[in-house]
C-alpha cells in the first residue's frame, strides 16, 4: 500500500515506518521536524511540511497516489498541555482537521490515528478496556478524544475507515538500536533513568511514593515501540470503509516506578541512585491496559513482555547514541 506517515520522524512514527518498509509498503514521511529527527527517516522518504498546509498535503497525496494515512504528529506531554492548552488544541485538533479535510478532498479514506490512555483519565477500575468511560483529566487527553469522536463521525458520514490506537506507555527502541527515543527535554521515565546510568544525570527523582500501590510509586503499562508498530500494520490491513476500530495497546502488566528503576539497575549494572521527590501534578496512580480486543481482532501479541527485555533495547540505543540523534 502507498502510505503517508504524518509525524513519521518521531518516536513511534519512525519505528512504524521501518516496519512498513520492511513489509513492502511504499512509504512517505510528512513531518515538519519540529520534534522529529531527520536522521530517523530512511533516505529519500522525507517530505518536509506542516500539518496546517492543506494544499501541500493534497498535492503530496495526489502525486504519490496515497492510499492510507497514519497520523503520529502531535504534542504529547500532559504537564505541557495543562500550561499551554492553546498549543495543544491548535496542533492536535485544528491541524489534524486540515489533514482530514485534505484526505477528504482527494478521496483517501484509510486513517490510523495515535490515541492514548490519557483519553481515559483516572478510571476507577483496572485493567482499562475500550468500554471504560473516557473522561480525560487534562487538555492532552481531551485533544485526542475530540479527534477520536470526529473520526467516528467522518467514518459514518464520509466513508472513512479509521483506527484509533490508544497507546499505554511507549518505550524501548529498535532491536538493532538504529533508532530510538530522543526527546528534548526528556521527560519520560526509562530514558531519564538510563541517562543516570550513562552518567549524564546524578540521580533519578521518583515523583511520589505515597500512591495507593504496593510500593507507593505509580504503576504504568510499558509497551515496546516495535509492538506498537506491528499493531499499526495489523490495523491498517483491517480498515474498511465506514468503520471504526478503537483499541488499547499495552501488555496488560503494570510496573511501578521502583520496579522500572530496579530493571534498569539489573540491565545496566549501574547502581542508579534514586531520590524521592513530590508527586508530579496530574499523574494517575495506576494505568494498565486490557488489550484483549487488539489481541482478538488484530491477531496481535506484544513480543516484548518483560520490562527487562524492553529496557534492554532502550539501553542498547542509549549506549550507542548517548546524545540521541545528534550523537
Q: Can you give the binding site for ligand UFG, defined by CB under 6 A?
A: 76, 78, 116-118, 140, 169, 187-189, 192, 204-207, 218, 220, 257, 280, 283, 287
Number of C-alpha atoms within 13 angstroms, CB side, residue 60?
Answer: 27
Active-site residue flag, 140: yes
Helix, coil or strand: residue 190: helix
Q: How far is the CB of 170 from ligand UFG (least distance, A)?
A: 7
Q: How far is the CB of 53 from ligand UFG (least distance, A)?
A: 25
* Separation in Å, CA 79 to CA 142, 279, 280, 311, 319: 13, 12, 9, 24, 28
Cα 66 to chain centroid, rounded: 23
- Cβ neighbours, 10 Å, residue 44: 6
- Separation CA 22–CA 2 (nearest Å): 13
Nearer to ligand UFG, 48 or 210 (CB): 210
Q: Which of 30, 120, 140, 222 is catalytic?
A: 140
According to DSSP, the β-strands at 46-48 and 204-207 are unpaired
Nearer to ligand UFG, 151 or 218 (CB): 218
Q: How far is the CB of 43 from ligand UFG (least distance, A)?
A: 29
CB nearest ligand UFG: which residue? Answer: 218
- Which residue blocks in 240-326 are alpha helix, DSSP H? 257-268, 292-297, 307-320
Q: DSSP labels for 6-65? A: ETTTSHHHHHHHHHHHHTT-EEEEEE--SSS-GGGSPTT-EEE--TT-HHHHHHHHHHTT
Q: Which residues touch 110 (CB under 8 Å, ≥6 apart)?
A: 1, 67, 68, 69, 160, 161, 236, 239
Task: Scan for cell 542509549, then name that residue.
Answer: 318
Q: How far is the CB of 236 from ligand UFG (least distance, A)?
A: 22
Cell representation of residue 75? 504534542
Q: How far is the CB of 278 from ligand UFG (least distance, A)?
A: 10
Nearer to ligand UFG, 30 or 120 (CB): 120
Nearer to ligand UFG, 104 or 188 (CB): 188
Q: Give catalytic residue positions.
A: 140
Amino acid at each position: 500500500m502507498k502510505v503517508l506517515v504524518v509525524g513519521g520522524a518521531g518516536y513511534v512514527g519512525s519505528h512504524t515506518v521501518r516496519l512498513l518498509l520492511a513489509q513492502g509498503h511504499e512509504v512517505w514521511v510528512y513531518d515538519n521536524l519540529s520534534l522529529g529527527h531527520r536522521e530517523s527517516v530512511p533516505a529519500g522518504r522525507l517530505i518536509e511540511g506542516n500539518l496546517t498546509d492543506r494544499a501541500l498535503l493534497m498535492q503530496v497525496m495526489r502525486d504519490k497516489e496515497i492510499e492510507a494515512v497514519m497520523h503520529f504528529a502531535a504534542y504529547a506531554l500532559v504537564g505541557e498541555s495543562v500550561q499551554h492548552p492553546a498549543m495543544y488544541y491548535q496542533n492536535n485538533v485544528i491541524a489534524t482537521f486540515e489533514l482530514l479535510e485534505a484526505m477528504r478532498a482527494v478521496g483517501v479514506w484509510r486513517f490510523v490515528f495515535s490515541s492514548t490512555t490519557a483519553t481515559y483519565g483516572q478510571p476507577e477500575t483496572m485493567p482499562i478496556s475500550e468500554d471504560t468511560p473516557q473522561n480525560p483529566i487534562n487538555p492532552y487527553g481531551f485533544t485526542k478524544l475530540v479527534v477520536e469522536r470526529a473520526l467516528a463521525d467522518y467514518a459514518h458520514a464520509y466513508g472513512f475507515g479509521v483506527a484509533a490506537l490508544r497507546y499505554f506507555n511507549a518505550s524501548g527502541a529498535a532491536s538493532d538500536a538504529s533508532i530510538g527515543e530522543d526527546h528534548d527535554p526528556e521527560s519520560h521515565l526509562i530514558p531519564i533513568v538510563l541517562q543516570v546510568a550513562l552518567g549524564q544525570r546524578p540521580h533519578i527523582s521518583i515523583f511520589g511514593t505515597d500512591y495507593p500501590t504496593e510500593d507507593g510509586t505509580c504503576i504504568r503499562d510499558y509497551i515496546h515501540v516495535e509492538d506498537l508498530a506491528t499493531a499499526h500494520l495489523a490495523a491498517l490491513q483491517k480498515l474498511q470503509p465506514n468503520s471504526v476500530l478503537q483499541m488499547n495497546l499495552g501488555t496488560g502488566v503494570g510496573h511501578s516506578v521502583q520496579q522500572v528503576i530496579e530493571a534498569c539497575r539489573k540491565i545496566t549494572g549501574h547502581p542508579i541512585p534514586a531520590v524521592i521527590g513530590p508527586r508530579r501534578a496530574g499523574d494517575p496512580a495506576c494505568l494498565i491496559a486490557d488489550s484483549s480486543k487488539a489481541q482478538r481482532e488484530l491477531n496481535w501479541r506484544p513480543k516484548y513482555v518483560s520490562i527487562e527485555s524492553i529496557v534492554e533495547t532502550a539501553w542498547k540505543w542509549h549506549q550507542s547514541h548517548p546524545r540521541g540523534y545528534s550523537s
